[in-house]
């Protein structure tokens, strides 16, 4: 399986990192080895002094397809989860400056925490609210209606380049409020008010 991700899919988050708002989805990937099933602790790696959390809605891809038209895109995902796209911000900043690829900052082992999946809410077009608490305090609060590119846009666009396969995951971008974690922190993710994700930093 593969993990597709999009950067800068919420305007306020693009602004907080001084990035321009993209004209097309900015895709990247993480390998299957990046996956950390929730409930397991995240061990802070030694190669970064500035690991950031990014809470995101994750789609579970439920069909195989390429060149998917936007109007059929909804047939290719059926469940959602909360995920944390852990990012070594210090490495990423250095790589961005040089115009180098991001993998070591974004795709390292256990950089993709994924909660249990739940069925996609039937009224999800109205927006899905999700929230991250760090040590009990709300640090990110987002709604999918603020996405620049919708779930269907992301599925359609990415399938022009990559064949989507059942069991792939799609991280759909983070709202504003990203920040660092340190050993001892506890991250908890809420979907429509229900706690779905739990990750201790060790
Ligand atoms: Zn992200």
Q: What is the CATH number of domain 3-123+146-182?
A: 3.90.850.10
Judged against a pLDDT cut of 90, whether residue 20 lies above it is answered with no
CA–centroid distance, 27 to ligand 1, in Å, is 10
CA distance 21 to 8: 7
Q: Is pTM beyond 0.85 here? A: yes
Q: Are 34 and 3 in contact (CB under 8 A)?
A: yes
> Domain segments of the chain: what residues?
3-123+146-182
Tell me the average pLDDT across 60-81.
Answer: 97
Tell me the average pLDDT across 118-125.
Answer: 91
Burial profile 50-89: b = 16 or more Cβ within 10 angstroms, e = fewer: ebbbbbbbbbbbeeebeebeeeebbebbeebbbbbbbbbb
CA distance 75 to 77: 6
CA–centroid distance, 76 to ligand 1, in Å, is 21
Mean pLDDT of the chain: 96
For ligand 1, an ion, list residues with CB under 5 A: 54, 85, 174
CA–centroid distance, 107 to ligand 1, in Å, is 11
CA–centroid distance, 8 to ligand 1, in Å, is 7
**Percent share of the chain, pLDDT over 70:** 100
Q: How many CB atoms lie within 10 A of CB 125?
A: 13
Helix or strand holding residue 178 (H, E): none
CA–centroid distance, 151 to ligand 1, in Å, is 15
Whose CA is closest to 120, among 74, 64, 184?
74
CA–centroid distance, 64 to ligand 1, in Å, is 24
Tell me the average pLDDT across 1-26.
Answer: 91
Q: In sequence order, what DSSP letters do the residues of 19-41 get, joined into one string?
A: -PPPSS-EEEEE-GGGEEETTSP
CA–centroid distance, 13 to ligand 1, in Å, is 10
CA–centroid distance, 9 to ligand 1, in Å, is 9
Tell me the average pLDDT across 173-202.
Answer: 97
CA–centroid distance, 29 to ligand 1, in Å, is 10
Tell me the average pLDDT across 43-63.
Answer: 98
Q: Are 177 and 54 in contact (CB under 8 A)?
A: no
CA distances from 13 to 38, 86, 173, 181, 195 (A): 24, 15, 9, 18, 23
CA–centroid distance, 5 to ligand 1, in Å, is 7
CA–centroid distance, 123 to ligand 1, in Å, is 24
Burial profile 7-22: b = 16 or more Cβ within 10 angstroms, e = fewer: bbbbeebbeeeeeeee
Q: Are 176 and 147 in contact (CB under 8 A)?
A: no
Q: pLDDT grade, residue 86 (50/70/90)?
A: very high
CA distance 161 to 127: 27
Least trusted range by pLDDT, from 17-31, 102-116, 161-175: 17-31
């Amino acid at each position: 399986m593969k993990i597709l991700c999009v950067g800068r899919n919420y305007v306020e988050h693009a602004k907080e990192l001084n990035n321009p708002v993209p004209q097309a989805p900015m895709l990247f990937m993480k390998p299957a080895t990046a996956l950390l099933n929730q409930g397991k602790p995240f061990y802070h790696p030694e190669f970064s002094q500035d690991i950031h959390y990014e809470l995101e809605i994750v789609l579970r891809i439920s069909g195989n397809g390429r060149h998917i038209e936007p109007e059929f895109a909804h047939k290719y995902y059926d469940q959602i989860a909360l995920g944390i796209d852990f990012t070594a911000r210090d490495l990423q900043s250095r790589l961005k400056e040089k115009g180098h690829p991001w993998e070591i900052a974004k795709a390292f082992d256990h950089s993709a925490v994924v909660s249990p999946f739940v069925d996609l809410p039937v009224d999800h077009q109205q927006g899905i609210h999700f929230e991250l608490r760090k040590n009990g305090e709300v640090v990110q609060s987002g709604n999918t209606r603020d996405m620049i590119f919708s779930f269907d846009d992301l599925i359609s666009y990415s399938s022009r380049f990559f064949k989507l396969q059942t069991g792939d995951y799609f991280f759909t971008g983070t709202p504003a409020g990203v920040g660092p974690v340190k050993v001892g922190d506890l991250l908890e993710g809420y979907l429509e008010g229900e706690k779905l994700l739990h990750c201790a930093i060790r």
